[in-house]
Chain A
Amino acid sequence: DAGITQSPRHKVTETGTPVTLRCHQTENHRYMYWYRQDPGHGLRLIHYSYGVKDTDKGEVSDGYSVSRSKTEDFLLTLESATSSQTSVYFCAIRAGQVYGYTFGSGTRLTVV
Chain B
Amino acid sequence: GQQVMQIPQYQHVQEGEDFTTYCNSSTTLSNIQWYKQRPGGHPVFLIQLVKSGEVKKQKRLTFQFGEAKKNSSLHITATQTTDVGTYFCAGVEGGSEKLVFGKGTKLTVNP
Q: Which residue from chain A places its CB closest to the CB of B50 in the assembled complex?
A: A98
Which listed segment binds A: B55-63, B70-78, B98-106? Answer: B98-106
Q: How many A-B residue pairs have CB under 8 A?
A: 53
User: For the complex, what is the distance from the CA of A45 to the CA of B43, rounded to whole Å?
Assistant: 14
Q: Is A101 positioned at the interface, with any CB of B under 8 Å from its CB?
A: yes
Residues on B with beta carbons closer than 8 Å to the beta carbon of A41: 103
Q: Is B88 positioned at the interface, with any CB of A under 8 Å from its CB?
A: yes
Q: Is B44 positioned at the interface, with any CB of A under 8 Å from its CB?
A: yes
Q: Is A58 positioned at the interface, with any CB of B under 8 Å from its CB?
A: yes
Residues on A with beta carbons closer than 8 Å to the beta carbon of B45: 100-102
Give the most central of B43, B50, B98, B104: most A CB within 10 Å.
B43
Contact of A56 with B48 in the complex, beta carbons under 8 Å: no
User: For the complex, what is the distance from the CA of A40 to the CA of B86, rounded to whole Å?
Assistant: 12
Residues on B with beta carbons closer than 8 Å to the beta carbon of A40: 103
Q: Which residue from chain B places its CB closest to the CB of A99 in the assembled complex?
A: B48
Q: Which residue from chain B places its CB closest to the CB of A103 in the assembled complex?
A: B42
Interface residue count on the B side (C-beta < 8 Å): 23
- Chain B interface, >50% SS class: strand
Q: Is A44 positioned at the interface, with any CB of B under 8 Å from its CB?
A: yes
- On whether A100 and B48 interact (CB within 8 A), knowing A43-B88, A106-B42, the answer reads yes
Say how far B11's CB is from chain A's closest CB, in angstroms: 16
Q: Which residue from chain A places its CB closest to the CB of B34 in the assembled complex?
A: A100
Say how far B18's CB is from chain A's closest CB, in angstroms: 24
Q: A98-B48, A101-B45 are in contact. List 11 more A-B contacts (CB 8 A).
A: A41-B103, A42-B101, A43-B88, A43-B101, A48-B98, A58-B98, A99-B48, A100-B45, A101-B43, A103-B42, A103-B44
- Which residues of B does A touch, CB under 8 Å? 1, 31, 33, 35, 41-48, 50, 88, 90, 97-104
- Which residues of A does B touch, CB under 8 Å? 1, 31, 33, 35, 40-45, 48, 50, 56, 58-59, 90, 97-106
A-B contact pairs, 9 of them (CB 8 A): A1-B44, A40-B103, A42-B102, A42-B104, A45-B100, A58-B98, A59-B100, A90-B43, A98-B50
